[in-house]
Amino acid sequence: MKNILLVCAAGMSTSLLVNKMKAAAENKEEDIQIQATSGGELNKYIESADVLLLGPQVSYLQKDYKSRYADMNIPIEVISNTDYGTMNGEKVLQQALELTSE
Domain definitions of the chain by residue range: 2-95
- pLDDT given at position 30: 81
Task: Of 47, 40, 43, 35, give the one whose Cα is nearest residue 6.
Answer: 35
The residues assigned a catalytic role are: 8
What is the residue-averaged pLDDT of the chain?
92
- Which residue type does 69 have? Y
Is the pLDDT at 25 greater than 80? The verdict is yes
CATH number of the 2-95 domain: 3.40.50.2300
Per-residue pLDDT at 11? 60
How much is the average pLDDT of 19-40?
Answer: 91
44-84 confidence digits (pLDDT tens) = 999 999 999 999 999 999 999 999 999 999 999 999 999 99
Residue 91 pairs with which residues in a beta bridge? none
